[in-house]
């Protein structure tokens, strides 16, 4: 029973981490795309 609760917490943490990671990756990807567009226009 304790193991199950620990495993559940671990899963929730990894899910939050993945959401955070994808949010950050999307932000960086958008920033990189903007830089490329600016370089083209420049």
Residue 31 backbone phi and psi in degrees, to 5: -65, -45
**Considering the entire predicted model, what is its pTM?**
0.45
Give the pLDDT score at 42: 63
Consecutive 10-residue averages of pLDDT for the chain (42 residues): 65 80 82 75 66
For the chain, the helix, strand and coil percentages under 3-state DSSP, each to the nearest 5: 95, 0, 5
Q: How far is CA 17 from CA 13, 24, 29, 31, 33, in A?
A: 6, 10, 18, 21, 24
Give the pLDDT score at 25: 81
SS3 at position 30: helix
Give the pLDDT score at 23: 86
Give the pLDDT score at 6: 60
């Amino acid at each position: 029973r304790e193991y199950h609760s620990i495993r559940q917490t671990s899963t929730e943490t990894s899910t939050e981490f993945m959401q955070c990671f994808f949010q950050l990756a999307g932000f960086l990807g958008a920033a990189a795309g903007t830089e490329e567009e600016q370089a083209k226009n420049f």
